[in-house]
Amino acid sequence: MQIDTIYEDDRWQAADLETLAEPAIAQTFAQLGLDPAPYEIAILACDDARIAVLNAEFREKPTPTNVLSWPSEDLAADTDGDTPYAPEPEDDEHHLGDIAISYDTCAREAQEAHKPFSAHVTHLIVHGTLHLLGYDHIRDADATLMEGLETVILGKLGLPDPYSQDQGPDGPATGKD
C-alpha cells in the first residue's frame, strides 16, 4: 500500500497522521479480505479553510467538514445494503482515490465528543477509505453496512464503537464526508 500524504497544515505532522493512517487503512483492507499492496491512496492533511473550499467545489456545501473522499472509480453496489464491487488492481499501482481531512474540525469534534484526537482521526481515515472502496451511507441499508464495518475495524484496532450513544455526538451518518 502506497500512502501519499500531502501536508498543507503542519499540525498534522505533529499529530503523526501517517502513523494513524497506515494501520487504519491496512485494517480496513484486511477486514474486506483485500490485499492492499497494489493500491495507492493520497491524503490531503489540511485545515478548515481548505476543506471548506473543497466541500463547496465538490458538494456545493461551502462549510468545513471533517473528511472528504474522491474514489477513482465507482464501486458502489446497485442495491441498497449490498457489498460494493471489489476494485480490480492493474499490473502497476492502482490509485484508489483521494482523502482530505481537516485538522480543525477533527480536533473540535474530538473535544466535543470527549474522544482522543487519535481515535477520532483513525475513525475518519477508516470512513474515508471505505468510501474509496465503494461504501456509502446515503441509503439506509448502505449506512448500516458501512457503520457496522467501521465498528468492527475500529474494534480490531482497539478503539470503541464510534456510533455508540455513550461515545458522544458523533452518531450515525454524520453527513460530514
Residues annotated within a binding site for Zn(2+)? 127, 131, 137
CA gap 97, 29 in Å, rounded = 14
CA gap 55, 122 in Å, rounded = 21
Helix (H, G, I), strand (E, B) or coil at 11: helix
Q: Which three cell numbers stand for residue 160?
A: 470503541
3-state helix, strand and coil shares in percent for the chain, rounded to the nearest 5 = 45, 15, 40
Bridging pattern class, strands 67-71 and 94-102: antiparallel
Binding site per annotation, positions: 127, 131, 137
Bridge partners (DSSP) of residue 7 are: 45
Query: For residue 80, what is the DSSP state?
Result: T
